[in-house]
Amino acid sequence: MQRVIASQKEEPRKNFEVAVTLKERNTLIGGGRISVSDERHREGFIGYILNRDFWGQGYATELAQALIAFGFEKLGLHRIYATCDIENKASAHVMEKIGMQREGRLREHRLQGKNWRDQYVYAILDREWSHGKNHKPND
């Protein structure tokens, strides 16, 4: 929490963490983040996590779309990427649904316990977002 609060005062601000709540129940169900990874080349990345009890209801898709809209429309980014474990089918599907393209596989990119894990990298460009933003993910 301290790190997140401190990041709000960065100048220029590079990290934006959001809490995901259910309005009707005022319940915290997850969180998301968008960070500017490279200012000069206007690149950012996103990440998200949802409480397991709320999986499969489209919340991550809505969240990822909101983070990307913020990145392109408010932060003026040109490119936004995200990574996921190659076995994380739900996350890969979320990224594909919102128009991100799989660009490649990062070999042994994360250490999980004693195991090195490969990750897929997905990305979307500002023009692809503008072109597709009137379409719903399931269209």
Residues that bind ligand COA (CB under 6 A): 47-50, 55-61, 84, 88-91, 93-94
Q: CB of residue 1 vs ligand COA: minimum separation in angstroms?
A: 19
Which one, 39 or 87, has the nearer CB to ligand COA?
Answer: 87
User: What is the smallest separation between the CB atom of 112 and ligand COA, expressed in angstroms?
Assistant: 12
| Helix orientation angle between 59-73 and 89-97, rounded to the nearest 10 degrees | 50
Compute φ and ψ for 32, nearest 5 degrees.
Answer: -145, 170
Please, what is the minimum distance in Å from the beta carbon of residue 81 to ligand COA? 11
Pairing of strands 79-85, 43-50: parallel
Cβ at position 74, least distance to ligand COA in Å: 22
Q: Which residue has the tokens 């220029």?
A: 12
Tokens 């474990």 belong to residue: 85
Beta carbon nearer to ligand COA, 66 or 125: 66
Closer to ligand COA by CB, 29 or 75: give it: 29
Q: Is 116 left (phi over 0), alpha (psi -120 to 50) or beta?
A: beta
Closest to ligand COA by CB, 48 or 72: 48
In the beta sheet, which residues pair with residue 34? 16, 46
CB of 9 to ligand COA, least distance (A): 27
Q: How far apart are CA 102 and CA 120, in angstroms?
A: 7
Task: Specify the length of the chain in residues.
Answer: 139
Using the minimum distance from each CB to ligand COA, give the nearer residue, 114 or 136: 136
